[in-house]
């Protein structure tokens, strides 16, 4: 599993609002507890509101959402316009 995928999964596991230990996370993600400790430290360093400590467990504060994984309406204009141009010049299959 790629590190980015693992970090995403850790955030997903912690979103349920229950205290979760590094041992449980390491078992689910098939990595060492030490890897989980490093990943949690990196997530906290990037601003993810995780509370807890090694040996006790971790919990994410309520109200945290991942940054949008979709385009806003205004951001969606560019790929839509590009696809329409490609379809007009390159045919339906290319569009």
Mind listing the pLDDT tens digit for each residue in 43-76? 999 888 999 988 899 999 887 766 656 777 787 7
Domain that holds residue 50: 3-60
Do both 22 and 40 map to the same domain? Answer: yes
Residue 95 DSSP one-character state: -
Q: Are 86 and 95 in contact (CB under 8 A)?
A: yes
State yes or no: pLDDT of 95 exceeds 60: no
Do both 40 and 75 map to the same domain? Answer: no
Nearest one of 50, 26, 51, 28 to 36, comparing CA atoms: 26
Do both 83 and 48 map to the same domain? Answer: no
Do both 53 and 7 map to the same domain? Answer: yes
pTM value is 0.66
Range from 8-12, 34-38, 67-71, 82-86 that averages highest in pLDDT = 34-38
Instruction: Count how many domains the chain has.
Output: 2
């Amino acid at each position: 599993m790629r590190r980015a995928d693992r970090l995403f999964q850790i955030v997903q596991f912690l979103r349920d609002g229950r205290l979760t230990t590094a041992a449980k996370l390491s078992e689910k993600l098939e990595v060492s507890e030490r890897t989980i400790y490093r990943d949690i430290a990196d997530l906290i360093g990037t601003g993810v509101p995780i509370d807890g400590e090694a040996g006790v467990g971790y919990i994410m504060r309520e109200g945290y959402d991942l940054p949008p994984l979709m385009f806003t309406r205004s951001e969606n204009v560019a790929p839509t316009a590009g696809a329409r141009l490609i379809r007009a010049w390159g045919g339906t299959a290319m569009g």
